Each structure stands twice: as C-alpha cells, then as structure tokens.
Amino acid sequence: MSDPVLVCAKVKKSYVIPGESGAAGRLEVLKGIDFEVRAGETLAIMGRSGGGKSTLLSCISGLDVIDSGEIRLMGQNLSALDANSLNAFRASRIGIVFQQFQLLDHFTALENVRLPLDLAGVSPEKADQVALEKLERVGLAGRESHFPDRMSRGECQRVAIARVLAMGVPVIYADEPTGSLDVKTGKVVMDLLFTSAKESGAALVLVTHDPLLAKRCDRILRIEDGLLKEGPLELTSELGV
C-alpha cells in the first residue's frame, strides 16, 4: 500500500460570529477531523449543506487556517508554512476544480489553462505546449482562443480540469464539479476527471452531494456534526442527500 499523500489529524476549525460573545460567539465547524488519502486513491466527502465540506476543503488546500490539529500534505505540515511558502507549495501540489469553474472571464481558454504555469514562472513556450496538450486531452483542441463567455458550462468545467492537469499536481480537490452541469454533461466531465486523475496518478478528493458520483470513488466519508465518519453509501442516502 502506498504512503498517504494527505493526512488530517484532529483538525478543528471554528469561526467567530460577529456581534456574539462567549460560547455563542464561536461556530465550531470542524470538531476533530481525522482521515488519510493515498496516492492514486479517490475519496468522496458527502454531507449536508452547511455541514462544513467546503470549510474542510479550504483547510486541506491551505486557503484557511485551522484552529488545532495537523494537516500534512506530501509529508509537509501546512500550518508550518508561511503565506508565501504555502502559495508556492499549493501551486506545486494541489489542483482545485470548483463548482463554478472559477475561470478568468477576460482570459482565453488557453490563457486560463496556462495561468498556474505563468504564475510558476514556466517558460512561455513550455507553458503554451503543456496548456495546448491539456486542452486537447479534455477535448477542447481548437478552442484555445475562445473566452469563457463563448463556451458552454461543460466546456468551462473541462477548461478548469485542463488547468488542474497542466499543474501536474499529486492531489486534486473537486468541489461539486458537476453541481452546475446537466446530468449528461456532468457524467462526461466526471469521466474525464477520474480518468485524468488515474492517468496522472493523482489522489482525488471529491466533495459532492451526488451518491452516484460518490459511488465511483474508492472510499466515501460523510461529514456529520463536525466529525468525519466512514460509512457505506446507504447511510449517506438515509441522510437524504
């Protein structure tokens, strides 16, 4: 069995509620999360809306600071990194696919895919080459000069996947990647995401409401009352999600 690429140990996270004081003034969202993800593994995280799924994603991608516990990515404790090192570390280890794609509207498809490479200082030629390859990989060859507002939502999500692939990262997080797509397009996009992750050997952490999508993953975890529980799909179905 391969070594874990992501380890979360006793992770706690709470938010201050403005205008409230004392115990009522803090909202505990994550109350001690423990889980591991291994290289190449696919993991689905399910839970109710407002249950803390996105908070967990924010924390494990280093976009939010945890109150206590430890998050290790590729052996590196994220809390030990300063803001700039964390940016650089994230750019080289983590790729994120958002529900709303989060493409830059004034950038073309190619420029969007190339964005992390440009930010990492990769040479323009190399960046273009990689970006074109990845666009081709997601089936968007010939669309590189198109802007997001001229593309369908499925195509936008494919550009977002190509952007993650271009990064060549060992861990991919996907936040409701089919949430904005119709069933048919969603299936195409997810096929692409699973295949791509498998090809690149990256671990895939998928946050979803969709039981069918979760079922395609190696493991399913559900977030309940701020804690993560491992359980069969049927239990998550009982939750009504």
CA–CA separation, 123 and 121 (whole Å): 6
Q: Is 103 one of the binding residues for other proteins (CB under 8 A)?
A: yes
Instruction: Report yes or no: 43 and 216 within 8 Å, Cβ to Cβ.
Output: no
User: Nearer to other proteins by C-beta: 52 or 186?
Assistant: 52
Q: Find the binding residues for other proteins in span 2-31 (CB under 8 A).
A: 15-18, 27, 29
Angle of CA points 113, 151, 91, to nearest 5°:
20
Q: Find the binding residues for other proteins in span 120-179 (CB under 8 A).
A: 120-121, 124, 127, 163, 167, 175-176, 179
Please report how close the Cβ of residue 147 comes to other proteins at its closest, in angstroms. Answer: 9
Angle of CA points 221, 223, 226, to nearest 5°:
145
Query: Counting Cβ atoms within 10 Å, is residue 150 exposed (0-12), middle (13-18) or buried (19+)?
Result: exposed
How many alpha carbons fall within 13 Å on the CB side of residue 236?
25
Q: Is 210 one of the binding residues for other proteins (CB under 8 A)?
A: no
Q: Is 99 one of the binding residues for other proteins (CB under 8 A)?
A: yes
Asked whether the CA dihedral 109, 112, 114, 118 is positive or negative, the reply is: positive
User: Nearer to other proteins by C-beta: 16 or 212?
Assistant: 16
Please report how close the Cβ of residue 1 comes to other proteins at its closest, in angstroms. Answer: 30
Phi, psi dihedrals of residue 179, rounded to the nearest 5°: -60, -30
Q: Find the binding residues for other proteins in span 76-95 (CB under 8 A).
A: 83-84, 87-88, 90-92
Site residues (vs other proteins, CB under 8 A): 15-18, 27, 29, 49-50, 52-55, 57-58, 61, 63-64, 83-84, 87-88, 90-92, 96, 98-100, 102-107, 111, 114-116, 118-121, 124, 127, 163, 167, 175-176, 179
